[in-house]
């Protein structure tokens, strides 16, 4: 009993630590809600404790006739290892939620091959604090265990046959709390949801259970999103992506030299013409008055690797699809680089970080990029940023590369300085005393690097035939710490500028990153049939809508409505305007179709249709 109570107290302590760390959200709730969160979260705490107690139950049964010394040392070792693992998850989850707005699951495991990049999101001070907290909590909690629980085991007499019977029965009984009772449905994340406030629901989740369950269930061999059991939904979805004919021509030439700059975490909240904070990105704001600004574009997800695949392959990578993890899948996607290479373009990719991060190297090789430059091509003295090469150095080298490139060219630069923890190599414009100030200061620095690069390009002979496409890899919860499903988190800027752009204009049609490849190719009169789920943003015949994906849900925006569909509770996280059954139908249809397509790329096929 005391051993079980020990783990329950740890889970309650974890929730209190979570409340304090996420104080910007938790302190807006009344104290009574804190108590309700702990109470409702008890369901998953019990299930988690059930998993932890399985081994001790079997151990006690196996040692019922022996001296307690063996059981004492084995259980001590087991408890220390489990305690350490639990504390690592609890502490890691604090930073994960602060930046991502969701609880820790198996998503970060995709980045274990590049641990330096994982750690780069946190400051040195944060790491020191977390390591110190881990050591202190491990020492204190394990000491409590040794003095209050372990000592009882050490001096207990052998339980003999009664112990064997009891602990075998007890181990069997643990199936009930593990699965959440005797009902048909097993316990799930949504079982602890109780509040209209998303943070309160997420705070109730036991992060140890959430992580373990995501590792066990993430099989990716069958489609978990089966809403429609016939092929008719695919035809309706195809109609949604009707592209229309004769798009408005915004380029002076069909074959411009193309520079695609993927801007790290460049949320629309930073762009003044898009309603963002004033004065944060003055260079981008000025460029927006010179080119074609797409004002209602949304990222597919909130991770860089997924944004990359969506932009280059026109593939709406849903939250549940880690497609870059599998080269055999990504190899079957269309690539903007390949489409342009067939027209004689040279394709190159530049990135200041580790190119193996999130398996990007294999993806780019599948895209036949002729030259792939990363941090390994720079001297160590220039790798001064947390993530690699600072943007001002990257843009300087990228400019030199552009000037030496054979024409026509398609050159991609992916920046990285405006990435958490949002440190800058210059004096922070808006201060650095808190996360919001660092976020804004980092954006100002990244914007200044972009502005300097474009000004230099304007003075070259390349400018007249040059198209520069600016797009963010994803948005951010910052600076307002919005909900993880909020459209503002996914709203990003997209801008076409350069001498090859006819005039400045604003395109207000709703769209996604997955639409960019189709829009560019059709503007150049290049076939884009293989980009199945992308539309032409410059065609009057295409529909105005944007779709994005978040943890356990999908969001959709149109000219007249917006909603977020929660797959856990089969309800809406939010809704604005004329949201009806047809609107929700398309959100579900896209989720089902994309996941089905993803499985087929890997040779799997669900029987859902």
All structural domains of the chain with their residue ranges: 2-217, 232-567+581-601
How, if at all, do strands 257-263 and 466-472 pair?
parallel
> Residue 350: which pLDDT band, with cuts at 50, 70 and 90?
very high
Bigger pLDDT: 498 vs 582: 498
Q: What is the mean pLDDT of residues 173-181?
A: 85
pLDDT-derived band at 113, boundaries 50, 70, 90? low
Residue 406 has pLDDT above 90, yes or no: yes
Q: Where are the alpha helices (DSSP H) in 261-387?
A: 282-288, 304-313, 327-330, 336-341, 360-366
What would you measure as the largest C-alpha separation in the chain, in angstroms? Answer: 90
Q: What angle do CA 274, 279, 282 make, to 5 degrees?
A: 80
Share of the chain above pLDDT 70, in %: 92
Regarding predicted confidence, which is higher, 453 or 156? 453
Mean pLDDT value across the chain: 89
Report CA Rg, the chain: 27
State residue 157's pLDDT score: 66
pLDDT at 396: 97
CATH number of 232-567+581-601: 3.40.720.10
Mean pLDDT of 285-303: 95
Beta strands in 477-599 (DSSP E): 491-497, 505-507, 511-512, 545-550, 553-558, 561-566, 571-577
pLDDT over 70 at 149, yes or no: yes
In 3D space, the residue among 60, 42, 37, 14 whose CA is nearest the CA of residue 181 turns out to be: 42
3-state secondary structure of 521: helix
């Amino acid at each position: 009993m005391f051993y079980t109570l020990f783990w329950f107290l740890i889970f309650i302590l974890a929730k209190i630590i979570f409340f304090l760390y996420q104080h910007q959200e938790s302190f807006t709730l009344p104290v009574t809600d804190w108590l309700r969160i702990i109470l409702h979260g008890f369901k998953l705490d019990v299930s988690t404790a059930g998993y932890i107690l399985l081994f001790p139950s079997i151990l006690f049964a196996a040692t019922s006739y022996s001296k307690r010394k063996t059981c004492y040392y084995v259980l001590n070792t087991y408890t220390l290892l489990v305690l350490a693992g639990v504390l690592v998850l609890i502490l890691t989850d604090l930073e994960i939620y602060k930046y991502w707005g969701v609880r820790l699951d198996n998503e970060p495991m995709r980045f274990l091959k590049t641990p330096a990049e994982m750690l780069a999101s946190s400051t040195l001070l944060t790491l020191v604090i977390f390591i110190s907290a881990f050591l202190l909590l491990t020492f204190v909690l394990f000491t409590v265990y040794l003095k209050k629980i372990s000592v009882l085991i050490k001096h207990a007499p052998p339980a003999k046959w009664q112990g064997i019977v009891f602990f075998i029965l007890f181990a069997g009984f643990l199936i009930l709390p593990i699965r959440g009772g005797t009902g048909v449905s097993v316990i799930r994340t949504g079982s602890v949801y109780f509040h209209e406030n998303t943070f309160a629901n997420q705070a109730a989740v036991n992060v140890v259970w959430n992580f373990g369950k995501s590792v066990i269930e993430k099989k990716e061999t069958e489609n978990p999103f089966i809403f429609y059991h016939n092929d008719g939904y695919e035809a309706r979805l195809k109609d949604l992506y009707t592209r229309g004919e004769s798009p408005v021509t915004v380029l002076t030439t069909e074959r411009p030299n193309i520079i695609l700059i993927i801007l790290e975490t460049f949320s629309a909240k930073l762009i003044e013409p898009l309603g963002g904070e004033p004065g944060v990105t003055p260079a981008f704001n000025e460029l927006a008055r010179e080119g074609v600004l797409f004002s209602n574009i949304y990222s597919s997800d909130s991770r860089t690797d997924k944004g990359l695949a969506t932009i280059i392959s026109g593939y709406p990578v849903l939250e549940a699809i880690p497609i870059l993890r599998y080269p055999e899948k990504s190899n079957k996607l269309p690539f903007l680089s390949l489409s342009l290479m067939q027209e004689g373009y040279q394709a190159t990719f530049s990135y200041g970080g580790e190119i193996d991060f999130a398996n990007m190297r294999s993806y780019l090789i599948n895209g036949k990029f002729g030259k792939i430059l990363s941090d390994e091509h720079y001297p160590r003295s220039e790798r001064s940023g947390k993530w690699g090469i600072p943007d001002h150095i990257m843009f300087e080298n990228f400019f030199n590369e552009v000037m030496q490139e054979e024409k026509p060219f398609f050159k991609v630069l992916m920046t990285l300085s405006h990435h958490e923890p949002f440190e800058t190599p210059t004096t922070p414009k808006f201060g650095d005393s808190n996360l919001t100030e660092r976020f804004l200061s980092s954006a100002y620095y990244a914007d200044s690097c972009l502005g300097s690069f474009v000004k230099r390009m304007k003075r070259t002979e390349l400018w007249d035939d040059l198209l520069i496409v600016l797009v963010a890899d994803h948005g951010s919860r910052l600076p307002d710490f919005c909900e993880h499903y909020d459209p503002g988190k996914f709203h990003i800027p997209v801008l076409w500028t350069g001498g090859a752009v006819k005039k400045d204009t604003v395109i207000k049609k709703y769209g996604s990153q997955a639409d960019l490849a189709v829009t560019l190719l059709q503007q150049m009169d290049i076939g884009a049939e293989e980009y199945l789920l992308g539309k032409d943003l410059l065609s009057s015949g295409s529909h105005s809508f944007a779709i994005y994906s978040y943890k356990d849900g999908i969001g959709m925006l149109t000219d007249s409505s917006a909603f977020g569909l929660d797959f856990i509770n089969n309800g809406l996280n939010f809704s604005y305007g004329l949201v009806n059954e047809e609107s929700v139908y398309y959100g579900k249809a896209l989720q089902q179709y994309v996941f089905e397509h993803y499985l087929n790329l890997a040779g799997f096929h669900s029987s859902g249709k």
